[in-house]
Structure 1
Amino acid sequence: MSQRLLVIPDGLAEPWSGRGLPTTLASTRPMALDAICRRGAVRRVATTPEGLHPGSEAGLPLLLGWTPSGPVSRGRVDAAAHGLREPPGAVVHRVDVRHDDGRPWPELAEVAFRLLEGSVGEEALHVQRLHGHRMLVFGHTEPVLPHRRDLAEWGAHEGVAGADDPDDVPRLQLWPDGETPMPVLDEKTVVVCAPRSTMAGVARLMGAETVHPRGATGRPGTDVAAKARAATALLRDGTPTVVVHVGSPDEAAHDHDPQAKRLELQKIDRDLLAPLAALALDLGATVAVCPDHGTDPRTGKHSGDPVPAVVWGPGIPRSGPDRMTEESVAGEPVVAGAWDVG
């Protein structure tokens, strides 16, 4: 079997109904991605199992080879990403602090952390502050969250800008505990991703090796070229399956920044797909490009629609449209995984 390379641009897809503004994929001309599409099989992939909410905790395990049957625990995924071990018998919940419209509010995270520590009491074994707007609660029951008004008042008291805005009352989002991705992989699969990311947690729980290049942040401005260099070294060393995850398109969409999302796609195309496609051609490797879900930069919300994707390599006949956009694949068959040709 030839080597395989899977590139996952997180949240790159978007909802498409035939009306309104063009999507990021449709409004950008990614030269390397278009070249892959002209030679490969372009189709749609169902990355959100039926009945589940769209998100990386569902889409990433599915693309790596394990399909969840119920909600996946973001808390356990994040604990694995940060190298944390939950106490025996504990349930794990992730808690995010957000603006009223859903945008992350990291400036309020320290205030939210202190309030959460005080509100969970004896029901929690431990409250852990993560990076950005995220926290973890290890406990025996679902935690009771502080009131939104208390968070706003404490934030204003601490001088957090905007915390006293009556039209933007901060809120805490509770992620329920759930399934843990199964360890169906081994050292034959290596995942290149940002440290402490959802992808890092999923990969470790599923048994894959992880590599975190310097400068990989998961945010807009992440060093995509560093991920390309890491993937190049792995492929040249003969690693059977290399997965490269780039979280910046999703984060740009959550920031409600369509322009930033387009810039991230251009950078992924130029600094990641172009050199890796050339290397794959030289090695006779198979390449797949598939988002894990869609994220609308106008609303910041995830979409569970099947995503446009492409697979290209030895023995794969050319099929489907010439471009990988939501509109172009609307009539294409829906397949179950990144490597399925359809």
Structure 2
Amino acid sequence: MAGNRWPWFLAVLLAFGVAFYALQPILLPFVLGALIGYLGDPLVDILEGRGIGRTVGVSLVFLLFTALLALGLLIAIPALLNQLDALVGKVPALYRWITQTLLPWVQSRFSLPPVQLPEIDWTAQLAENWQSLGKTTAQTLRTITGSGMGLLGWLFNLALVPVVAFYLMRDWDIMMAKLLRMMPRAWQDNTATMVGEADEVLGAFIRGQLLVMLALGVIYSVGLWLVGVQLALVLGTVAGLASIVPYLGFIVGIVSSLVVAYAQFGEWGALLLVALVFGVGQVLESVVLTPVLVGDRIGLHPVAVIFALMAGGQIAGFVGVLVALPVSAVIMVFVRHAVAHYRASDLYQGD
């Protein structure tokens, strides 16, 4: 009888995958709403445990998330835009330093044949690119707002995110219980165990990794600002976001920051201070942030993280990138149980 359940289970799983691929263009507000709902559910559970009603708790968590988002938009976004504008203005100086200082030093150090990079009229190039960017932005806006239905659909998707998040956050536990009761009774105990482990993995990854990325972005930005690097916020933000892949944030951040710092200061002392900032950030990540916020429950190799992101983007675009790592982390839980079941079977242990 148990063997007859597997074809049904595989059929449902296949149907779910086909539906996800076919409905991918409309899934973005639902995926974002589910992500917000999952992030807020533990906070709502805490408030509910202290005697606050579920709906009131969801409203309070929504106010908290809205305040944090507004604070970020009002403070971080203008500063990032200013520094990005400054970065564009420094492109000619950075290119000149690479061609006149860095490249000749590398060639002489490693006895490489001389290679000359082409001379670029940066004034014309930047003007042309900014003009192209303006045309692209205008064309995108025309595409979005070219018809009343297009604009209405865009606004509807934007407004749908908090609605989906609110109802999922309010009814999360009820929905999970109903889904568990739909499983065959013989599977419910094992399914509850594996879902609990998957929830630990997802919580460790989504909540923990986001906090690690945020903390590293703040550490790197503040450290570079104390050193005096002019593009501290941009460099720190990029390094923090790249930390979703282990060690990638450190590598991207320190290399780009060293180049910018040397082009700005022109002395090795500044490079040592930049290296110290990223060294402190890496130590804090390894000793404090990752063990406390994430732990060792994810079990995803860095190569698997990169593959999951690329595969998700290839299959379902931006929606695929959003769900790639959570889905991979959950799959790893079931794979570990499958491997344990296989090693306990007669097929593995028999003569």
* TM value normalised by structure 2: 0.23
Larger Rg: 2
Q: Which has a greater percent of helix?
A: 2
Structure with the largest fraction of strand:
1
